[in-house]
Structure 1
Amino acid sequence: MTRSEKQDPDIAGQLEAAATAQERFQIMYTVLRDRISMLDYPPGTQLSEEVLAGEFGISRSPLRKALQILEADGLVLSQQGVGTLVTDVDLDELAQVYQLRMELNELTGTLAPCKADDTLKTLFSRMRARADTLRATPHRQAFARLNIDFFHAFQLLTDNLPLRDVSEKLFYRTCRIWLTLIPDRDLAAEVSIFSDEIHAIADAVTVDDVGAAAHIRRAHLSMGFKRLTEMQQAECLLAD
């Protein structure tokens, strides 16, 4: 049993309590996507429909739908005679995805930006507190979890639903790279940089400047991609 399976709430109970088939699908899809993104299912892991159906307390048919969407997202690959495998992540292949993410993040400040009300300000204040906790005690899995949660918080700064949808697909294509490439020696430094980003964006939200938040996010994404590229090059040199 993986770390996520131990910490996940009663997924079977959630599915049983879900009011609609769409709600059940969303629960399954989100749980599997998170496990892949947190490397609880590392690249190359074979996902057994039988095991997952047993864990979730469902038949294989609705599970297959979730796996099909994950395959369309590029997170798993179905191979005849082999089964469903978690895909690998390659920064070179995802370079253009990162470039598009940079532009989409900036559009958050121009396409139906939200007014930063008290609810949003409170949410980002909590993100800032979590960033401070992580900075004090850097932890790889906590870093990955905060990265995912902060992305979803940032999504709330625009009411443009197509922008949100595309941004989400692209985020989950790339977010595993951080867990894959960050060496242990650089984790504290990366946590500090990410914490600074969260603080700066939370400050912008506090004064209701979504445009500034979007520019900050784009700049940090660009710098992050550059650091990831350097990490990948260093890893290749060590391998040689």
Structure 2
Amino acid sequence: MKLLSEVEPEVKVSVKRIDGGLEVKGNLEELGISEGTELTVVATEPVHVHAGPISLRVAGKETVVARGWADKVYVERGGATVPLLRLEAGEKGTVGTIEGGKVFEDFFALLGIEKGKEIEFLRHLPDDTLVLKIDDHEISMGEGQASKLMAEHGGKNIQVNYLGENEKAKISKIIGGTSLKEKFEQMGVVEGKEITLVRKETPAPSPKRGTYVLAKLGEQLVTIGRGLAEKVWVE
């Protein structure tokens, strides 16, 4: 067995083991990777850094998209279809394909992202931790996870990422399937409850410029950050 981060391009491998606990497995499952998955490494490329959640502008409105979800979107730009994550800050494209079937198309529609719409890539977001308060107890989650929580604030539906410090809102929608809703429920996060953004915690900047692994699962291209690729054992 070897680590996925060490596999040469054009080599087909099968995932045998994933280290690092439930969170790592959950992040990889969002990309379609679990034990038993077969994939082909296409390339290992330097990160600049296409990791973490991203910020987009759609129809004049900013929206945050989790990294695992962004991998499912392909856009048309200059006559070619490219993965959304290949766009640079300020570049625009028209949404062409959303992988994952109607379920994911519906999830993205709630964020304003639909086939045929123009989107502008704004930036990669720092991997901040949002400290939120529900029922007098604090919970923490990353920007990507928080982006799946819609809340009513000032007469509008917004992602909780856009709450200011100490601002309150009412959770209006959880964008995701049953397992995500169950995960949120265990944290006390359910639709209709009041939620407050206590603060955002920014991690210390990492001096390491890593690499990411571009791999093919069937016909789907996925981008796996080095940190995750170093938790995946394959043969």
TM bracket (short chain):
under 0.3
After TM superposition, the score normalised by the length of structure 2 is: 0.25
- Compare relative contact order (CA 8 Å, sep 6+) and give the higher one, 1 or 2: 2
Larger relative strand fraction: 2
